[in-house]
Copies of this chain bind each other. A is one copy, B any other.
Amino acid sequence: MDPSHKPTYRPPRLFVEANLAAGLEIATDREQARYLLKVLRRQAGAPVLLFNGRDGEWLASVEPLGRADAKLVLKEQTRPQPLNDGPWLVFAVIKRGPMELLAEKATELGAAKLLPIKTSRSQSEKINEGRLYRIVHEAAEQSERLNAPEIATVQTLPELLANWPNDRLLIIGDESGTAPPMLSVLADNPGQPFAFMSGPEGGFAPGELDGLGDLPFVAKVGLGPRVLRAETAAIAGLTLGQAALGDFKASRG
């Protein structure tokens, strides 16, 4: 909730857990109260937009309760709740900094689901789910989404593949240099639900992707002649997927 990212001509947007409906009043937590009252210096009656991932976007007014607390009084729905039907991002667990960057950028790019996997080269098998939850919800606030990506529990690649929905294309960034460029592969699959999968730093181990090319829902693609870091490949893959198959074709409402 960095104030420099909130242009003053737009009301601030906050994610809340509470239900949203006309006439309800929402208690702010300490961080939200500090942000509205101290950082943005909002006065009584100032507009704020709220979303909870279920009930759409609501206009509310800030009602300060003393110097460090506030409630939010709901006025009217400003946008209905959309389906969270964007792409999925499957990613090998990597170090904390790049993984948090990946989660933030995937949210901005419209990902509906983040699926961490452990691979033989993963530096860690652990993710801090609380931190990732906070990061994707802050990114949703910033990017004007009305939902945040769901974060799945860590699983292995075989576990992931065993439960894969057959109608969703699984696009794998392949650094071997033999895969066709991503856009040329996607051109054959307009409107297809998709996931992009990025590997660990240093790439998948030899053999780790063997056999995947035989799965009917898998497409291996190239992302140019350079070696991309894991999080860069994830961002580039989601971008190209959204541009070719997803909602980059839509304009802003």
Contacts and interface: CB of A to CB of B under 8 A. Distances in A.
A41 interface: no
A13 to B, nearest CB: 10
A219 to B, nearest CB: 15
A251 B110 contact: no
Interface stretch (A20-28, A49-57, A101-109): A101-109
A223 to B, nearest CB: 6
Contacts of A251: 177-179, 181, 222, 225
Most chain B CB atoms below 10 A, which of A5, A108, A110: A108
B143 A182 contact: no
B242 A239 contact: no
A67 interface: no
A133 interface: no
A225 B244 CA distance: 14
Interface residues of A, number: 51
A7 B202 contact: yes
Contact of A227 (B144, B176, B202, B229): B144
Contacts of A7: 202-203
25 contacts: A5-B202, A5-B229, A6-B202, A101-B101, A108-B227, A109-B232, A110-B225, A142-B229, A143-B226, A145-B226, A175-B252, A183-B244, A222-B248, A222-B252, A224-B248, A224-B250, A225-B247, A225-B250, A225-B251, A226-B252, A232-B235, A235-B235, A235-B236, A235-B239, A239-B240
Q: Which 5 A-B pairs have the closest CB atoms?
A: A177-B252, A224-B248, A7-B202, A143-B226, A236-B239
